[in-house]
Amino acid sequence: MRRPTRTAFAVVVTAMALSACSSLPLPGRSGDDGDSPEPRRSSTAYSEAQDAQAKAPAPPVSGAQNGGTLHVLSDSTPHTFDPTQVYHLDTLAIMRMVTRGLTQTRYDDGKPVLVPDMATDLGRPNADFTRWEFTLRDGLKYEDGSPVKAADVAYAIKRQLAQDTLSGGPTYGLDYYLGGNTYKGPYKSGDDFEGVEAPDDKTVIIKMRKSFPSMRYYTTLPTFGAIPEAKDTRDKYGLHPLATGPYKFESYQPGKQLVLVKNPQWDPATDPGRHQYVDRMVFDFGLELNDVQQRIIADKGADQAAVSYSDILATNYDAIHGTPAEKRLVVGPSPCISYMWMDTRKVPLQVRRAVAKAWPLASENKASGSVPGLTWQPATTIMPSATPGWLEADAIGNKGEGNGDPVAARKLLTEAGQLGFELSFYYSADDEIDTKIANVRKNALTKAGFTVKTMPAPGALSRELSDDSIRPANLREASWCMDWANGDSVLPAILDGKKANLPGAPVPSFLNVKTVNDEIERISSLPADKALGEWGQLDKMIMDDYLPVVPLGEGGTTLLHGSKVGNVIVDSVGGMPDYGQIYVQK
């Protein structure tokens, strides 16, 4: 599940609805010359482009300089850097610099193109996409100089299924891998897994129990990064994962700071997508967002070489709008929608309808500091509107806007005999914005006839709490971000009830309905072109009949950076900066 970078309790309503991304001009990369003090547009809408023969090294960035330290200032607090478990946007972007997948996304003229990574091509499927074969490149090495072998990739794939130990990462393998629904990973089930083979040091064969045409997109994730079994330290592996990419861990203080330095064993002649321009990347976590943005706007000292990936606050946007500093704001698309999930085990359907009817979208967006039209866009469906096959629908009837209808919500509760129903949710007590949002929600829901229990928690625990299925909350905020532009990277991942009771809460609503499960299974087995419209219909049916979620807003990306940071572009697939393209000016 690719979730937001801020604490799980904050409203993550970020820029530029994806449905409108095709209207963006070609990206302006920061560091370009120009007179207009407007924010830089980076990236365009999703693309189906693929280049299986993309050559390494990656095309050079015009004007790029080597050396320097990039500072990344973040208000988020990552939970893990284990390649099997990373599934938040920020940690995915960081780990792509450390752990290479089999394939990757590269940007050609600002447009995303799927190209090979550790593999020599984009994989070779059989006719029905139930068997995929990948061949590893020559010259791949770990940071210690040892060679990368196919058995290491196979082991990483097996590790994906150790959900009791390594929860929170992608779960597609449970559905698609042959034997993925019974194999419990190498720690419990040993090495004998029929879903993957490594017949020699270069060949990886992945077998499916049903057609999976999107496999070559799935293999872009760090969870396909090679891990030697002998070096697997299990729950400690995320403290220093063995690097195959251009950067490696120098030091890591969980919750505070990560320092990456160049990996001398990475060979650019094996990598069509990444560069290694900066000497060091220093990530500081858990900072106060307004302070971060004020520092970068001031553009002094080390902050001239800094970047922030969180949504720009309305007050700070107003301060830089129309000034030269606005040129240092890069905006672009993101694959995300933010939601408030309702625990369907605890909250009856009629009560869920009342919650949705009462939700104070406008007030919470104001409290969050979002900028309408720039860092927030309405959403009314589960799938992002850029998803091929998306169907316009509005089950709640609010157009994704407004402050709700407390009178109508109270009427629904009264008719259901549920007036005073208790709702409970966590919020980050050490974050001023989260606290404001929690109060807005409590006031609106109380006015509608609910009893509301707000539960403060330290920001550092926010992700763990949102992933914990046994916590007492019956409302959970989380975003979903497409792993690739298809419905099979949305609904099966977050609404397949067969996974509702897995650790890590991959189904945040815990909805487990045979009708929905069967439809997901049926559509997943269709050819990709025939499945497109079916996903939109299923989205509508789930919202109309079960309403497990209140969509809070479509996502986007705003990157604020200092004057010495060059070539800041938005990875529109990952909703983050592409660190492999950035350089620091001397």
pLDDT tens per residue, range 449-468 = 999 999 998 765 665 665 56
Task: Please tell me the predicted confidence (pLDDT) of residue 472.
Answer: 83
Tell how strand 576-577 and strand 570-571 pair up. Answer: antiparallel
Task: Please tell me the predicted confidence (pLDDT) of residue 429.
Answer: 85
Tokens in use for 300? 């002094």
pLDDT tens per residue, range 362-395 = 999 999 988 887 888 899 999 998 888 899 999 9
pLDDT tens per residue, range 435-448 = 999 999 999 999 99
- Domains of the chain in sequence order: 334-555 (3.10.105.10)
| Residue among 231, 510, 196, 192 at smallest CA distance from 184 | 192
The 3 state secondary structure assigned to 195-254 is CEECCCCCEEEEEECCCCCCHHHHCCCHHHCCCCHHHCCHHHHHHCCCCCCCEEEEEEEC
* pLDDT for residue 422 is more than 70: yes
Overall average pLDDT of the 325-332 stretch: 95
pLDDT tens per residue, range 532-585 = 899 999 999 999 999 999 999 987 789 999 999 999 999 988 889 999 999 999
What phi and psi values does residue 209 have, to the nearest 5 degrees? -90, -10
Query: What does pTM read for this prediction?
Result: 0.86
CA distances from 162 to 70, 99, 108, 185 (A): 35, 19, 37, 4
- Mean pLDDT is lowest, of 45-54, 75-84, 289-298, 443-452, for 45-54
- Mean pLDDT is lowest, of 49-58, 473-482, 533-542, for 473-482
What phi and psi values does residue 236 have, to the nearest 5 degrees? -100, -5
Characterize 264-285 residue by residue with b for buried, 16 or more Cβ atoms within 10 angstroms of its Cβ, and e for exposed. Answer: ebbbeebbbbbbbbbebbbbbb
Confidence of residue 17 (pLDDT cuts 50, 70, 90): very low
Task: Please tell me the predicted confidence (pLDDT) of residue 386.
Answer: 83
Task: Please tell me the predicted confidence (pLDDT) of residue 7.
Answer: 37
Confidence of residue 27 (pLDDT cuts 50, 70, 90): very low
Confidence of residue 38 (pLDDT cuts 50, 70, 90): low
Which DSSP symbol is given to 373? T
